[in-house]
Homo-oligomer: A and B are copies of this chain.
Amino acid sequence: MGEEVKVFGAWGSPFSRRVELALKLKGIQYEYIEEDIPKNKSPLLLKYNPVHKKVPVLLHNGNPIAESLVIIEYIDETWKGNYPILPEDPYDKAMARFWAKFIDDRCLPALWKAGWSPESEREKAVEEACECLKTLEGALGGKRFFGGDKVGLVDIAANFIGYWLRLIQEATGQELLSAEKFPDLFKWTDEFVNCNVVKESLPPKDKLLGLFKARIAAAAEAQPSAS
């Protein structure tokens, strides 16, 4: 009998795409369930993630798991033989966890603020975001991937920077990550999105760009007029 592997996700969410990428790297077949977030979450999502009520959720043989980084470690430990996502050595593993956590705790909030905060708060946010990108470029240290010669935990965690960020830049016209400012990190984004298995885990470019443009238009409408 086959295993039950289900992912509750949202097409535009880098967090649920992380889980899909991890499963694809492992070669695990799964059923994908699209959630209508934030307004129309399914009863199953609320049942399986009652604490955060968010995507992604992995359901494996009836057992639900939430939080993308927790899910990825679970996937790596459950299907150990396939494609190792975390390094074997405890110190290398600790470093991978440290950088994945840095991306979630520091980089993503800073990048989000830099992209979408009101203009009055933007300068400080941009400064902080660039500081994060610089630190991350240092962590990459000239390697092809954060995981060395292949995609690993940190690359998966950085999927927003590899794909979403450059599209947000295209939509807003604001450039945080460029080949001039962060040559190694910029090169990594190309390497990352050009991996076949990564490509399969990314949302369509036009659809995501459309989402960002709609967001910009909505923000402009919500601004108090100058009159």
**Footprint of B on A, CB under 8 Å?**
51, 60, 63, 65-67, 69-71, 73-74, 77-78, 90-91, 93-95, 97-98, 101-102, 135
Q: Would you call B101 and A78 a contact (CB within 8 A)? A: no
Q: How many copies does the complex hold?
A: 2
- Set of chain B residues within 8 Å of A65, measured between Cβ atoms: 91, 94-95, 98
Q: Would you call B77 and A98 a contact (CB within 8 A)? A: no
Distance to closest chain B CB from A148 (angstroms):
17
* Residue of chain B at shortest CB distance from A76: B90
CA distance A63 to B66 in the complex (A): 31
CA distance A121 to B69 in the complex (A): 32
Q: 9 A-B pairs, CB-CB below 8 angstroms?
A: A51-B102, A63-B91, A65-B95, A70-B94, A70-B98, A71-B94, A73-B93, A73-B94, A77-B93
SS of A interface (majority): helix
- Set of chain B residues within 8 Å of A94, measured between Cβ atoms: 65, 70-71, 73-74
CB-CB under 8 A for A70 and B102, given A51-B135, A77-B90: no
Distance to closest chain B CB from A106 (angstroms):
8
Q: Would you call A74 and B51 a contact (CB within 8 A)? A: no
CA distance A74 to B94 in the complex (A): 6
Q: Would you call B101 and A70 a contact (CB within 8 A)? A: yes
15 additional contacts (CB under 8 A) given A51-B102, A70-B101: A51-B135, A60-B91, A65-B94, A65-B98, A66-B98, A67-B98, A67-B101, A70-B94, A70-B98, A71-B94, A73-B94, A74-B90, A74-B94, A77-B90, A77-B93
Q: Would you call B90 and A78 a contact (CB within 8 A)? A: yes
Distance to closest chain B CB from A24 (angstroms):
19
CA distance A65 to B63 in the complex (A): 32
- Set of chain B residues within 8 Å of A91, measured between Cβ atoms: 60, 63, 65, 74
